[in-house]
Amino acid sequence: MTDWNAMTDEDFRREVHQFFESEYPEELRHLPHRPTFAEVEHWHRKLHAKGWVAPAWPAEYGGMGLSAAKLLIFYEEQQRWGVNRGRDMGVQMVGPLIIKFGTQTQKDYWLPRILSCEDIWCQGYSEPGAGSDLANLRTRAEIDGDDFVINGQKIWTTMAHDATHIFMLVRTDPDAPKKQQGISFILAPMDQPGVEVRTIRTLAGETEFCEVFFDDARTPRANLVGELNKGWTMAKALLSFERIFIGSPSLAQNALGQLEVFARGRGAFDDPVFRDRFAQAALDVEDHAALYSRFADQLKRGETLGADVSMLKIWVTECFQRITELMIEAAGPDGGTIGPLQVGNVSVDVLASFYKARPTTIYGGSNEIQRNILSKAVLGLPG
């Protein structure tokens, strides 16, 4: 088995890039929507055969065992080549949790099925009354013999209509003194009478988000991961790496590239007002990248990231939005037109980019929540 971490960063980057360049299907590059598994199955098989489905997992569980530094390179190359992450909730979210807190039996059963995508996962965290205030969740799981019986509703469940399983935070002790207590992390099959999925149509006209209703749905008690009522701390423990990932410059960088091609084609660069606004956006992206590499270097030195990493997400998502707003402006009267707009020999879908940027300031902890975190945990402001 290859020890990727023993390679130099440059060699590793080249190796990853070459694989993507030669193997990733051209028609799936920079996919504007979230694919169903069927759309990316062929690519997933290739990744699986290569052993690259789970770059962050330890090698003993079938992952690549990458260090934080190498992992960052892997993701950077993935985003640069426009490689879709596929249906990676299992790999990104539930796998690491099982690896860290699961029993041997759970690991032996679930992990290989995640890697092969025999099971396709969705994440059941948010609820109608528990968005930013996630600990307010009310979906109940009550013990009944060898099963949990689940009642309640999840929302914003990405691609639930194309998933076989859901990992979820549920309330198992409604009488706990603090609402963060009494929450457990359980796994449940979707294909059963007590589970109903409805898709939600978004502003972009897509249906990647769902509502999931649980009406006496059942899952074996063996599907509890970690201790009963300890789900909150476990779920939070896994967020550290995600925080830098969610603040990576790539989305904004890609959008800036599109904006430049589009605006040049449309002659917007002859307008001094547009030029200044473009320069502002481009420098916002470039200077964010300088800050990002400061955090990346911290990871490379083996340090854990502090709460201050939240600033990456705030800056880059807002910057991403401004870039897509500039795209709409550069489109002039075509700014409200659905579908790709042709400029020269390329086409740019300005509306799709605009819509894609909107939820980035909402998901993963809204930017307002990130500001709360920074003001309390980093700046030490009271209250």
Q: What is the CA radius of gyration of the chain?
A: 22
- Helix orientation angle between 272-300 and 310-330, rounded to the nearest 10 degrees: 150
Number of residues that bind other proteins (CB under 8 A): 31
Residue 242 parent element (H or E): helix 239-245
> Which listed residue (14, 30, 236, 376) binds other proteins by CB under 8 A?
376
User: From the candidates 242, 286, 318, 329, which is the catalytic residue?
Assistant: 242
Asked if 362 is part of the footprint of other proteins (rule: CB under 8 A), the reply reads no
Query: Contacts with other proteins in 245-304 (CB under 8 A)?
Result: 269, 275-276, 278-280, 282-283, 286-288, 290-291, 293-294
- CA 190 vs CA 118, 123, 163, 198, 215: distances in Å: 13, 12, 7, 13, 12
Among 308, 340, 359, 362, binds other proteins (CB under 8 A): 308
Which DSSP category does 2 fall into? Answer: -
Nearer to other proteins, 149 or 307 (CB): 307
Binds other proteins (CB under 8 A): choice among 203, 237, 346, 381: 381
The SS3 assignment for 35 reads coil
Instruction: Please provide the size of the chain in residues.
Output: 383
Q: What is the distance between the alpha carbons of residues 51 and 198, in angstroms, rounded to a whole number?
A: 34
Which letter, b or e, does each residue of 318-349 get, where b requires 16 or more Cβ atoms within 10 Å of its Cβ?
bbbbbbbbbbbbbbeeeeeeeeebebeeeebb
Which lies closer to other proteins via its Cβ, residue 6 or residue 290?
Answer: 290
380 binds other proteins (CB under 8 A): yes
Identify whether 77 is a catalytic site residue.
no
Nearer to other proteins, 17 or 371 (CB): 371
Q: Which of 188, 311, 351, 352 is the binder for other proteins (CB under 8 A)?
A: 311
Beta bridge partners, 218, equal 149
Residues near other proteins (CB under 8 A) are: 269, 275-276, 278-280, 282-283, 286-288, 290-291, 293-294, 308, 311, 314-315, 368, 371-372, 374-376, 378-383
Catalytic sites, residue numbers: 242
